[in-house]
Structure 1
Amino acid sequence: MTNEIRLNSSTLLNILLFILFMVKGEMLFAQKPEMHYGDLDIPARPYAKDPYVIFFQGKYWMYYSVPGEQFKEWYIGIATSNDLVHWEKQGNIKGQKGTVEEKGICAPGALVKDGVLHLFYQTYGNGKLDAICHAFSTNGVDFERDATNPIFRPKISDWSCGRAIDAEVIAYKNNYFLYYATRDPDYKIQQQGVAIAPITTNFDRNSWTEVPNMPMLKPELIWEKKCIEAASCIQKGQYLYMFYAGAYNNEPQQIGVARSKDGIHWKRLSEEPFLKNGDVGTWNESESGHPNIFKAQDGRYYLFFQGNNDKGKTWYLSKVEIGWNKKGPYLKK
C-alpha cells in the first residue's frame, strides 16, 4: 500500500516562506561577528564607542566611550576579558565635577609604564576648548587624575582651532608620541597632529612639545571626506603603522592605514579603506570606525573598531584579525 502526501498550493507557499525565513535568519545571525559588544547601561539601547584594549595584570582590559541616559554627558566604560571575545563590565570612569571634565570624558587611549596603567582621554562638550587629559591607575578601575590636566591642546593657529581629541600615546624612537585630532579654524575639517615628550616623561602638561608644520595627516581621499581622526599606532619592524578613521561618523566612517619611519611624516598604504563599512543588512552597514590596533599575548594582531546599522541609534564594538607581509597589514579571512 502506498501512502501519498498531497500538498495544496497554500501549504506549499507556507513551507517556502518558512524556509526563506530560516535562511534569512541564519544569514542575519552569520553576519554578526564573534565579538559584538554593546554596553547596556541604557538597557534598551546598546551603546559603546571608541574601543581601546590593553593587557594589564594578567587579563585584557577594554576602555570605551558610553553616554548617560539622556546623552547629555559621556564617560568611559571599563570591561575585562580573558579571550578577547567575551567581555564583563567592571564600571565607569566619570568626569569630575568642577573641572574641565564636568561635561564628560570619552575616547580613551592607554599604555602601561613601570607597572602603572596610564589613561589618556578627551574632555567632552566644550567645542574648541576640548583637550586631552591624563589619569593613572594601579588596578585598572580606580584612577588618579593628573594635577596638570588638561595635559595638551595645540596652539590656535592657521591650521588648528586649538582643540585636541582622540589621543593615542606610544613609545617610539626614545620618545613618546601623542597623536591627536583637531579641527581647522573654521571648525569643519578634522585632521591629525602630534606632540612629543621624552621617554622619561611623567606625561604632565610640561612634558609635551608640539611638532610644527602640521597637519601631519589631513583628509585627501574621496572616502575620507572632511575628517581624519582616531589614530591608533603600532610598531612593526622599522615602521610605525597608523590605523585611522576617515570621514565623520556614519558617512560612513571607514578605516585607513599609513606608515612612517619617524612618527611624523606618513604615507598611506592604499587609496582605498583598509576596513570598509558592511554591506546593506549587516551589523556595521552604517560604518566601521574608530580603530584600535592591538597585539594579543599569543602574538596575534587584532583591529578593534566600532560599528552600527542604524545611523548611530546603537553602537557595538568588534574586532577582526590581521596579518602582516612585506606590504604591511592585511585582513585575515
Structure 2
Amino acid sequence: MLKKKLLILTAFLGALIGYVSAQEKPNMYFTDTSSGRPIAKDPKVVYFNGKYLMYYSIPGKTDEGWKIGIAQSKNLQQWDKIGELNKVAAYEKNGLCAPGAIVRGDTLHLFYQTYGNGPKDAICHAYSTDGIHFTRDHTNPIFHPSGSWNNGRAIDAEVAFYKDRYYLYFATRDPSGEIQMQGVAEAPRESDFSRESWKQVSDQPILKPELPWEGKCIEAASIIEKNGTLYMFYAGSYNNAPQQIGLAKSLDGIHWERTAKTPFLPNGKVGEWNHSESGHPDIFKDKNGQYYLFYQGNNNNGESWYLANKRLFWKETLPTY
C-alpha cells in the first residue's frame, strides 16, 4: 500500500513539475545559436510573399560584430532560420542590428542600424523582393538626428505609414550620452526612403523616460494604427535593468501620451524565463486581423536571449492580453 502511494505521489509531482515547466516557457520560444550562445534579440515580423518572416539581431563570433538573422514560420509560433544579413559595406564594418521592416507593393524595405560606433551609429535602408537577399540604399546611412538636444545617434528604427506620410521613429541619446529617448522624422508618400527623403520633425524628444520603471531609457518603438489612433509599444529602461514594455498613443504621430503609469508587459517573476526582462517589442497584425506582440526576454542578465509573442485583444480602445 505504501509503495502504491509513493508511486502515485511521484507521478503527481512529476506531472506538477511538467506543468510548471510548461507554464514557464511561452508557446513561441525562439533563439539562434550561431554565435555559440543562444541569443536572438530585437524581433521584427512581417507577412511577405505568402509567408511570415522574422528579422532579428544576433551577435557574431569573436570580433565579428552584430548581424541580422532571418527566420520564417507558417504559424507565428515555430520558426526556422533561413538566412542572414551580414556586413558588406564600410559603414557596417563594426556590425548591424535592430531591424525594422515594412512591405510596400512587391518589395520589402528593411531599416536597420549600424552598431559599435557610439554617437555615430545611424539608420540604414535596404530593400528586397524575396525577403532574403537585399540591396543597400546607395545613400546609406539614411538618417541621424541633428540639434542640441541629442548626441547625433540613431538606433532602433521603426517606419510607419500614417495620414499619407511615412514616419521614421528612432532612439537617440541626450548630449551626455546617458539618457536614451525617442525621436521622429517624416517622408512623403512617394518617398524612396533615401537620405534626402527624411526630414526631422521635432527639435526635442517625442518621448523620454519619466516614470520610475523607465529608468534612463526609452527605446525600440513599435507602432501600429487602429481606428485612426497610433499606438506605440516601447521598451523602458536599459536591458536587464529590468527592461519592460510600455504603451503610448497619438493622434498625429508626433505628440504622445502614455496609457498607464505601469508597464503594459512587465518582466517575469523570479524563476520565470523572462525574469531579467521583457523587452524590445514588435507589434504585428496578422492577415486574419489578430494582433501579436513579439518581444525578447531572458532570466540570466543577458547570458542568453529568447524571442516570444503574446496574442493581444482589444478592450474598447486599448489592447490587453
Among residues 77, 100, 104, which one is paired with 1:85 in the alignment? 77
1:65 corresponds to 2:57: yes
Among residues 86, 96, 100, which one is paired with 1:94 in the alignment? 86
Larger Rg belongs to: 1
**Which residue pairs with 2:264 in the alignment?**
274
- C-alpha deviations, 1:181-207, integer Å up to 9, x for none? 001110000000000000100000000
Aligned residue for 2:22, secondary structure, equals: helix
Give the count of matched residue pairs: 321
Letter in 1 for 2:155: I
Among residues 24, 40, 44, which one is paired with 1:48 in the alignment? 40
Question: Distance in 2 between the 1:209 and 1:94 partners?
Answer: 28
Question: Distance in 2 between the 1:274 and 1:30 partners?
Answer: 20
Aligned residue for 1:206, secondary structure, equals: helix
Letter in 1 for 2:286: A
Quote the sequence identity (%).
56
- C-alpha deviations, 1:113-158, integer Å up to 9, x for none? 1210000000000000000000000111100000000000001x33
Runs of 5+ consecutive residues of structure 1 not aligned to the other structure: none
Give yes or no for contact 1:121–1:167 (8 Å, CA) kept in 2. yes
**Which residue pairs with 1:310 in the alignment?**
300
1:39 corresponds to 2:32: yes
Aligned residue for 1:223, secondary structure, equals: helix
**Which residue pairs with 2:150 in the alignment?**
160
**Which residue pairs with 2:252 in the alignment?**
262
Aligned residue for 2:177, secondary structure, equals: coil
The 1:39/1:159 distance shift into structure 2, 3 A limit, reads same
CA shift, 1:6, in A, is: 4.9
Question: Distance in 2 between the 1:70 and 1:15 partners?
Answer: 51
**Which residue pairs with 1:104 in the alignment?**
95
Question: Distance in 1 between the 2:175 and 2:96 partners?
Answer: 23
1:29 corresponds to 2:19: no
TM-score, scaled relative to structure 1: 0.92
> For 1:1-333, what aligned pairs fall within 5 Å after superposition?
5-6=1-2, 20=13, 22-43=15-36, 45-70=37-62, 72-97=64-89, 99-155=90-146, 157-331=147-321
Aligned residue for 1:272, secondary structure, equals: coil
**Comparing 56-65 with 207-216, which one deviates more in the overlay?**
207-216
CA shift, 1:72, in A, is: 4.7
Give yes or no for contact 1:164–1:181 (8 Å, CA) kept in 2. yes
The 1:313/1:71 distance shift into structure 2, 3 A limit, reads farther
Question: Distance in 1 between the 2:63 and 2:273 partners?
Answer: 22
Question: Distance in 1 between the 2:130 and 2:102 partners?
Answer: 13
Letter in 2 for 1:49: K
CA shift, 1:19, in A, is: 5.1
Question: Distance in 2 between the 1:132 and 1:236 partners?
Answer: 26
Question: Distance in 2 between the 1:21 and 1:188 partners?
Answer: 48
Question: Distance in 2 between the 1:196 and 1:6 partners?
Answer: 74
Question: Distance in 1 between the 2:105 and 2:16 partners?
Answer: 53
CA RMSD, 1 decimal: 1.7
Aligned residue for 1:100, secondary structure, equals: helix
Question: Distance in 2 between the 1:148 and 1:324 partners?
Answer: 40
Letter in 2 for 1:80: Q
TM-score, scaled relative to structure 2: 0.96
CA shift, 1:279, in A, is: 1.0
Question: Distance in 1 between the 2:116 and 2:35 partners?
Answer: 20
Question: Distance in 2 between the 1:286 and 1:124 partners?
Answer: 23
Letter in 2 for 1:145: R
Aligned residue for 2:91, secondary structure, equals: coil
CA shift, 1:96, in A, is: 1.4
The 1:287/1:164 distance shift into structure 2, 3 A limit, reads same
Runs of 5+ consecutive residues of structure 2 not aligned to the other structure: none
